[in-house]
A and B are shown apart, each in its own frame.
Chain A
Amino acid sequence: MSQASAADSSDSIEGTSSPAPEHRRRTTAEAMATKQRDISVSEFFAKNRHLLGFDNPRKALLTTVKEAVDNSLDACEEAGIIPEIWVHIETTGTNRFKVAVQDNGPGIVKKQIPLIFGKLLYGSKFHRLRMSRGQQGIGISAAGMYGMLTTGKPVLIVSKTAPRKPTHYFELQIDTKRNHPEIINGKGEGEDIHPGEKGLKYIAERGIAWVGHYPAPMRPVNAASASRSPEQAGGHTADAATGNAASSGTKGAEASNAGAASGAGPSTGSAVSGGGATGGAVIGGAAGTGDSTAAETPEGMRVGDELRSGTRVTIELEGRYIRGRGSVDEYLEQTAIANPHVTIHYRDPEGQEITYTRATTKLPPEPTEIKPHPYGVELGRLVTMLKDTSAGSISSFLTDSFSRVTSAVAKSVCEAANISVRANPKRIGRQEADALYQAIQNTRISPPATDCLVAIGEELILKGLHQVVPGEFYCAATRPPSVYRGNPFLIEVGLAYGGASQAQKVSLETLTEMLSESDSRTLRQFLVTTFDGIGGQAADRIMEESKMATRQSPGKLAKADIQRLHAAMRNVNLSEGQSMQVLRYANRVPLQFQPAACAITQSVIQTNWRAYGLTQSRGQLPSGPVTLMVHMASVWVPFTSESKEAVASYPEITKELRLGLQAVGRKLAMYLNRRNRVRQEGERRSIFLRYLGEVAQAVGRIRDMDNPSREAIYERLLNVAKRKTSEADARFDDRGKRLSEDGDDFGDNVLIVGE
């Protein structure tokens, strides 16, 4: 409309001589009215799938996994169950995948299943102010809808709430026009499956996918989890059994042996499930006997035990599976870092199994729900709340609906707004509401309670990072809670230094596959986009080392070329040109996209890392073998868009981010200084050693000594050199005091590996 009127006015100015064009009505209000109708939410999102993260096939696959896993984790934690998640992705055709995510959560009651999975904007999380991964209640149903739109296949749900209760099985489709679920199986009612052995047998016969038993600790198949040796994996299970996180490795190994033995006794249960769930039902025998040494799953269940409850959702969709940055693999890896209490069993489309084993069996405390803080409420919301409230007076409305509002505060707000304390909230007019809103903003109200936030905790951040990111130095900092716009939040930062880049661990086979999967136009682009930590500089050096043409297409490499590239990736020192890897999290959910728009990345760039011993160009991420994880926990994370990819930058958030980054930066600087000192000492020693031989020979010649005596002088001088360099090191300490070996005060929660 505004454009049209602008055109009109310009016409009238220019066309002074010609008569104004006659307006011919194209349509009438009545005619238009026939086309005006309701838009269903589902229809809206079906057309605007990018808003939910389904903009391209690759991202669709990720978003589907992500929404399902996030929901599973939320459900498990809410129910107080230590989460065990299965993610199975299966190729069913070209660019078609069947994604199945199963958890050991509380399950869903029969009545709710169709609504949760088959209706958009239906959920438990939207209306409350509580820290959780999901917020809007769109995710999983949107994923189901996307799958249905692209493949026409229904969403399959298996859910079980208790061991003795029936398992529910649904096949759902979404009626996009009515935003309503349609149940296909069981004559529109779904199916109930008997609990126990009989049910499992039926599940197997029907070919319904369901992991019925906890698997034994698995030997990692893929290089990505190669950091965990079988002993360690055993150790974890043993930890779980005793609830003692500090169980020794040998003890763990014994326990896992015992566990395997007991599992193998009456049936083949543990052996079968240990070999990797085959996707279908795994029928195990009776659970292991009550042997106390048997390996147990965290929930108190032994290996091979039947799942007491849980939910599995299977969605078939059109997608693309590409490894590297922004992939499902990356998401799961990052999830494992921020959720050290979770075990994830992942089978990728190629059938490789990866298990991220939990580092702790302690569930994070349950976040409490809070009432909104008055500062965070917008005028429109305030008006709605006034209408909906059941309170009889403004005073009780304010005190009941908001946190931190006492009757004294309510009174001063009312006075400032010039409204009677006893006024009926339902009769508050628009202007009065405006005055009330202004009064709230101008009244001093104490910040919201922050006990509703659950931090991962410095200790667990270290565990999580160490579990997944190889490195030599780890540190973490959890900031005290703070408030933005009335919403409490807290920032946590973890840092891992050292270790090889992902690019250097990749196997030749995987690289070959990645090259064939890649849709990058040039090899250089492939390197930069696929591997974290490889910047343009490092990519250039790899290209130079492997003698590849810069514009070489990644898909058309000969076998010898790939081998050369692989060798180059291993040999080139990436730690120099490697840029810092930033893992962003909001409420323990990894944020994988739009790094540039995110307040976290911006804060990292704005921090002066040069002061902490890293190199950094202006406006760039610092370089060096550093992985940084930044977690923002809040009852309401301010995302820049619905697809939840970037945190908006409020000044309060930016400030906390800065402080958190500085805290880990200082620890890193300390470590790097110490490492430099060690290196300098080494260099100094090597210079002395270089000349000692010559000195010994010269002295020997002057004194006409034989070779053995010359050796003896050399040895003596060597001893002096060794003592001298360690003394010198102590003397040259930058604080001017003699420090003992481990005298550096790193503070709490620092992990140094391999010293």
Chain B
Amino acid sequence: MAKKKEPAKPAADPSKLKVQDHKTLDALRSLAQEVLDYAERGRAPHIEVPSRSLSNVRFNQSRKIIEMGSGTNRRELFNLAQAKSYMQTLLVSSGCKQLIEQGKTTSIRGMFYLLKHTIEGTREETFETQDECDPIIEDVEVMLDALREELHLYAQKRGEMVGRITIVDKGDEIDCSRMGSGGYGIPSIVEPDIIQFKKCEADFILHVEKDTVWQRFNEDRFWEKNRCILTHGSGQPPRGVRRLLNRLHHELNLPIYCLLDNDPWGYYIYSVIKQGSINLAYESRRMAIPGAKFLGLRSNDFERCQLTPSVQIKLNEQDIKRAKQIAQYPWFASKKAWQKEIDMMLKNGFKLEVESLISKDISYVTETYVPERLEEGVFLD
């Protein structure tokens, strides 16, 4: 048993704790109390962790978002396969409690380092890598029904924004049209108490997949000419980006168009933005944007834009498997246009990245492709 003496850290003044913090702390305490009760009665303790898998999500037809079901997984202390994750779950809980009480926030990587130590009397680490820690944090989120920021945690910042909007971030006014070439880094936590929208002159939002494409649009001042907000999420957008898009869409009534690769991964990024992810289905309500539209690239763009065959990337087995899987998701299954789109890609036998349009002309994508698509007004839904 670890008898390490912990220096008594002064807890933050309880009066400074927010209402939300009290709620989270209560949830954490009752989790610990459960363990005590089990031990008291000489029973083997366990935790019910809501299941974060495809089998436990359902597609809400009316709200058009993925919602988490009521299925849970039991995590037992006295089960060989679960003993360690049980211990880790309690460690993460105790870490969050510490953060909340001290009124500080840390990254999930910071959390990993906060909790990582060698288990006394062994050579085993509580967490070997961050990959072990991250899913446990997500478990704790769902278990306590608390958002990540409510646990005083944030993920690494990823994704940028420029455009005709002025926001206030922790009291600092930021004009996103004056961000130079770098753009505004979208923080992990973008809740209204942190970020407020001050002034918006944009008509729509263009979300692109990656930094390189985003740079092209920014350099060409696309957002200026087309009165829009330009964002990217470095591939699968992190929660901060998705939450911000969600707020922009709902609070400012801005339509969202996504410019993603024509491959299964692009489809799934769109799917996550639109319906929410399977893994974080409990967050869908805050994050999903059912009104988001898929602008491109389309499977017929190879012919429509008369691209050279050298930009084709052959589909590998994994791509084909994933494409078929995505086609099966209930939120894709009922959409004929999407079925046709996926079918066509499979028939083509190749995928296309947004960057492939550069082969036509460096600014083809900003000057021709996107304006034309917006003009046509034909999007995949």
Contacts and interface: CB of A to CB of B under 8 A. Distances in A.
B234 interface: no
B16 interface: no
A711 B2 CA distance: 9
A702 B93 contact: yes
A503 B2 CA distance: 42
A177 interface: no
B1 A692 contact: yes
Given A690-B119, A694-B91, A720 B42 contact: yes
Most buried by B among A684, A690, A711, A714: A690
B91 A690 contact: no
A127 interface: no
A694 B2 contact: yes
Given A687-B83, A690-B121, A698 B1 contact: no
A691 B3 contact: no
B90 A698 contact: yes
A686 to B, nearest CB: 9
Nearest to A712: B39
Contact of A701 (B31, B94, B121): B94
A698 B91 contact: yes
Contacts of B4: 697
Interface string B106-121: 0000000000000111
Interface string B250-285: 000000000000000000000000000000000000
A714 to B, nearest CB: 5
Contacts of A707: 3, 5
Contacts of A693: 1-2, 119-121
A711 B83 contact: no
Interface string A450-474: 0000000000000000000000000
A723 B40 CA distance: 14
Contacts of B97: 701-702
Contact of A699 (B35, B83, B84, B119): B35
Interface string B72-98: 000001101001101100110110011
B44 A724 contact: yes
Interface string A708-734: 001101101101110111001000000
A35 interface: no
A710 to B, nearest CB: 8
A348 to B, nearest CB: 49
Nearest to B89: A698
Contact of A703 (B6, B29, B98, B119): B29
A728 B44 CA distance: 12
Nearest to A703: B32
Contacts of B80: 684, 687
A711 B3 CA distance: 9
Nearest to B77: A695
B155 interface: no
B86 to A, nearest CB: 7
B78 A702 contact: no
Contact of A691 (B32, B36, B83, B93): B83
Nearest to A684: B80
Contact of A702 (B28, B87, B122): B28
Contact of B78 (A690, A696, A724): A724
B33 interface: yes
A721 B90 contact: no
B304 interface: no
A607 B80 CA distance: 36
Contact of A690 (B40, B45, B93, B122): B122
A101 to B, nearest CB: 59
Contacts of B87: 691, 694-695, 698
B206 to A, nearest CB: 45
B336 interface: no
B143 to A, nearest CB: 13
A692 B83 CA distance: 9
A44 interface: no
A697 B117 CA distance: 13
A650 interface: no
Interface residues on chain A, size class? 20 to 34
B53 to A, nearest CB: 25
Contacts of B122: 690
A698 to B, nearest CB: 4
Contacts of A703: 29, 32-33, 36
Given A691-B83, A691-B87, A693-B120, A720 B1 contact: no
Interface string B349-366: 000000000000000000
A714 B90 contact: no
Contacts of A720: 38-39, 42-45, 78
A724 B33 CA distance: 21
A716 B124 contact: no
A161 B119 CA distance: 77
Contacts of A701: 6, 94, 97-98
B236 interface: no
B84 A691 contact: yes
A688 interface: yes
Contacts of B94: 697-699, 701-702
A688 B83 contact: yes
Nearest to A680: B80
A315 B49 CA distance: 85
Contacts of A699: 32, 35-36, 90, 94
B231 interface: no
Contacts of B3: 707
Contact of A723 (B42, B86, B93, B119): B42
Contacts of A692: 1, 77
A321 B271 CA distance: 86
B126 interface: yes
Contacts of B91: 694, 698
A711 B1 contact: yes
Most buried by B among A684, A702, A713: A702
Given A688-B78, A690-B122, A698 B39 contact: no
Contact of A694 (B29, B33, B126): B126
Contacts of B120: 693
A716 B84 contact: no
A726 to B, nearest CB: 12
A158 to B, nearest CB: 68
A170 B1 CA distance: 79
A721 B1 contact: no
B290 to A, nearest CB: 38
A724 B38 CA distance: 13
A702 B2 contact: no
A441 B82 CA distance: 71
B29 A716 contact: no
A688 B77 contact: yes
A697 B122 CA distance: 16
Contacts of A695: 35, 77, 86-87, 90
Contacts of A725: 78
Nearest to B87: A691
Nearest to A683: B80
Contacts of A684: 80
Interface string A8-42: 00000000000000000000000000000000000
7 A-B pairs with least C-beta separation: A693-B1, A698-B90, A702-B32, A716-B39, A691-B87, A698-B94, A701-B94
Interface of B: 1-6, 28-29, 31-33, 35-36, 38-40, 42-45, 77-78, 80, 83-84, 86-87, 90-91, 93-94, 97-98, 119-122, 124, 126
Interface of A: 684, 687-688, 690-699, 701-703, 707, 710-711, 713-714, 716-717, 719-721, 723-725, 728
12 contacts: A687-B80, A688-B78, A690-B122, A691-B77, A691-B86, A691-B87, A691-B119, A698-B90, A701-B98, A716-B39, A716-B40, A720-B42
Given A693-B119, A702-B93, A716-B42, 18 more contacts: A688-B77, A691-B83, A691-B84, A694-B2, A695-B77, A695-B86, A697-B1, A698-B93, A701-B6, A702-B28, A702-B32, A702-B97, A710-B1, A711-B1, A717-B39, A720-B43, A723-B42, A725-B78
